[in-house]
Amino acid sequence: MKILVVEDEKKIASFVRKGIEAQGFAVDVSGSGDEGFLLATTRPYDALVLDIMLPGKDGLSILRNLRQRKVPVPVILLTARSELNERLEGLNLGADDYLTKPFHIEELIARLHAVVRRAAGTSQSILAVDDLTMNLLTREVRRGQRALELTPREFLLLEHLMRSPGRVLTRIEICERVWDYNFDPGTNLVDVYVQRLRKKVDGDFPVKLIETIRGVGYRIRPVN
């Protein structure tokens, strides 16, 4: 999932970013309402974590404008514990949920899963290629009857491969999507992770799903 966090308190923003990234999600962070609104209206996100008190556009104004533009992205508001009226106003404007500060990162992650599940529907939460399945909500991966234990980064790598069976992803694309930074042609980071993933996904299974396209990149091979 790709999450936008709009929060001007640097410590909270850093805390949220690290916690969400540890789950294998991609995260953009903005410290101002104006920039956050621009990102929310020009880039695709699976959910927004939106503080109410922001420099520039405040969180409720951002939410109001998003809903007026028919932007359906799920929004979780971050609020001060005493501001009941703001929480109620936010829900009336179309917020999907809210959290009062301070909060535990585990609760935020659980609520992110919940709002994305409601927005996307259960049918879109399962990726499947042949006997390989990935549940995007519970983060369970299975090959046939066998459960696969993946690290958050391996999970994200496999998710990107499974979203486009048969399509070759270049090392540059993988690096930008999974690690969220520009590809260094001198690194073998992508190859190392694909090799680790291949051992878990293909292992001793007779049908091998992860393919190397020499000189180009990698793909999940669709099986008829």
pLDDT at residue number 210: 96
Q: What angle do CA 1, 166, 183 make, to 5 degrees?
A: 55
pLDDT beneath 70: ranges in the chain: 81-84, 120-125, 180-186, 224
Whether residues 6 and 101 share a domain: the answer is: yes
pLDDT at residue number 123: 46
Which pair of structure tokens corresponds to residue 20? 């969400």
| 18 contacts 11 by C-beta, under 8 angstroms | no
Which of 88, 120, 152 is the endpoint of a domain? 120
Which pair of structure tokens corresponds to residue 219? 């793909």
pLDDT at residue number 122: 46
Rounded to an integer, what distance in angstroms lies between the CA atom of residue 179 and that of residue 156?
9
Whether residues 22 and 43 share a domain: the answer is: yes
Whether residues 99 and 185 share a domain: the answer is: no
Cβ burial of 76 (10 Å; 0-12, 13-18, 19+) is: buried
Q: What angle do CA 174, 26, 209 make, to 5 degrees?
A: 40
Number of domains making up the chain: 2
pTM > 0.95: yes or no = no
pLDDT at residue number 224: 59
Whether residues 13 and 104 share a domain: the answer is: yes
pLDDT at residue number 5: 96
186 is in which domain, residue-wise? Answer: 124-220
pLDDT at residue number 81: 61
pLDDT at residue number 114: 82
pLDDT at residue number 120: 66
Whether residues 63 and 135 share a domain: the answer is: no
Q: What CATH number does residue 133 fall under?
A: 1.10.10.10
Whether residues 103 and 130 share a domain: the answer is: no
